[in-house]
Structure 1
């Protein structure tokens, strides 16, 4: 969607837009999803700014009434994915939201004030690792990633990548110290993105070659910030520099390959790629876990370390947690956990029986033990949501 121009005189306190508003120098004057307040509007007028530009839409107007209440007018509705949330997953939602908020605050402080606190990143990494290690069912964290709503993309994506990386590190037998270092690397590997102009990151049209080249500089920025400002060890900084390198040498910025890449870089590269594919971006809709896994598998040993990829597949299964599938019995089920021995036969929970009746507390089936039942196809979450609406 191209940028559109809005008159500042037409803006009203309480407006909220789906994308950021920019001044004529392409500086953000109102971040996406933030409500326009009186001080921001006055600041625009005092700076004699006549127009702002955005690639988004007005999605909400919050108006205050005379009694101190508020009236919210929603102008757009977004499609929600149909996701099953069990009680084990729900108890970690606060941890997940707090992690995103903490990281978002750290990134925004650096972006706006150039202040950065290394100890806060270390504390967050330790908290994430301790929380994950205290839970025996790793699938609850994968389910949390699947239900992640919209918000600041960088913070959401980074926390999700951190969680997947720690889970993968666990499967690879990493010690507690190595897991914390892995989490720390995952929290800062993409920090160089704060140096890329926001209008490029929010652009909905295809990037120009010059804009794409700017984006490709972020690993170098990450390396510089990690080494010179955070003063973290070189093994952490290498991940910032190497996370877009590929196992076959086709990546950037240095076209490293194979054993030239650190193991932490290889882990985070897989987690970063899978997670990015599943999330909505300004230029495309996110893919369901099954489709994202197919694409990752398609890259195979060319792009990723084959041994680490093999462990990732056993952890996620071909049908990642949260995938909606049709069984040979005619029932519809959601994948609740993977089976590392039989990645094509995960554990599922029936949500619609073979007669078409919706079930709130359907049976749980471990397909690796039920040889007469198998998955015949994946049902995309949007398709399932549409079927529920039309039922």
Structure 2
């Protein structure tokens, strides 16, 4: 019997394993429901579950009523739900960040429970990678950056062959990378111009502060704790806080590092305009070579580029166009046909142009 989670009552028994973004069921078949189970289901954004027709005490379970017109109603579109969950998490993050600034403790369980429903939608809507830079805003940059780093880390880990548990751990680590920013002076966080040398030195301490927030938590693997500490390290030794290089920087650290810098480059800041995801990735390839893992860069390039034939885009000169062919060696620069004309533009040759936006 299919029942809405919001109609569940204590004493119902689960008739089928309830799965989330986990290897094992959230709740196993045969479990007698209590309030803590109902809260868990809501936290994982589970809408309906299958239950046996009788409660554990033998009384009958009432089926969820079908409202007029719902029998053949189409499913709600996924992307608006994803955007709403994203926006809700931004609001929640802003609230807890303000609490951290006032000395409040970090609650990883609560933050993860808010993140998980969003990851469920991201897993089904990977084109979100073209939307994150549009949703971000300078006013609430730290919240947008933290949530987007979590999403990008999840997608990049998945693309790189991590198992589901590893993807989730990296997403949680991603949303925690900038917790240490709560210890920065407001004068630095709200500054609209370039930082002074002293301010830059202070900002470079935030990975250490982030690590201090999570170092004693049993909810994160040690590898993820190290990744948070190292998310600004670079393979060539040019990063911080320790200037680690090469094999001293873990693969998970590199996932967070690439997700972090990619979103930062594509986001509006108080002191800098945002870049197109396509242009930002080209800049990373051309100007940051040697700092990031090549395999991860290629994975990100495949995630952003390689657009299917027929994909509609906006070019950097504001013209609309349609992708007609993508060469494997130029994933970020396909051949496109300008809207309203027969003009074919080979972006691999027309270097002054690039894709500004993908139209979903």
**TM-score category, normalised to shorter length:** 0.5 to 0.7
| Residues 162, 187 of structure 1: 8 Å contact kept | yes
After superposition, give the CA deviation of every residue in 1:279-330 in whole Å (9 maximum; x if it has no partner).
1222221222232122111245411011111111111128899962289xx9
Deviations 1:344-373 (Å, cap 9, x if unpaired)? 46597x7842289xxxxxxxxxxxxxxx76
Say yes or no: does 1:104 pair with 2:101. Answer: no
1:47-196 correspondence to structure 2 within 5 Å: 89-133=79-123, 135=124, 137-139=125-127, 141-150=128-137, 151-196=139-184
Match of 2:247 in 1: 259
Between Structure 1 and Structure 2, the one with more strand by share is 1
1:378 aligns with 2:356: no
Summarize the Cα distance change of 1:345–1:153 in structure 2 as closer, same or farther, 3 Å threshold: closer
Query: What SS does structure 1 have at the residue aligned with 2:215?
Result: helix
Q: Secondary structure at the match of 1:303?
A: coil
Taking the aligned partners of 1:352 and 1:275, their CA distance within structure 2 comes to: 29
Specify whether residues 207 and 341 from structure 1 end up closer, same or farther in structure 2 by C-alpha distance, changes over 3 A only.
closer
Contact 1:318 1:344 in 2 (8 A): yes
> How many residue pairs are counted as aligned between the two chains?
275
- For 1:204, the equivalent position in structure 2 comes to 192
TM-score (norm 2): 0.66
Counterparts of 1:354 and 1:96 in 2: how far apart (Å)?
A: 38
- Root-mean-square deviation (Å): 3.5
Map residues 211-250 of structure 1 onto 2, 5 A cutoff: 211-228=199-216, 232-250=220-238
CA offset at residue 272 of structure 1?
0.8
Distance 1:337 1:279 in 2: 28
- Could you say which residue in structure 2 is the equivalent of 1:354? 341
**Normalized against structure 1, the TM-score is what?**
0.62
Distance 1:255 1:112 in 2: 31
SS for the counterpart of 2:321 is: strand
The gaps in structure 2 that reach 5 residues or longer are 1-76
- The equivalent of 1:71 in structure 2 is none
CA drift of 1:337 comes to: 12
CA, structure 1 residues 115+346, in 2 after alignment: closer, same or farther (shift >3 Å)?
A: same
Deviation of 1:268 (Å):
1.2
- Indicate the residue corresponding to 1:274 in structure 2: 262
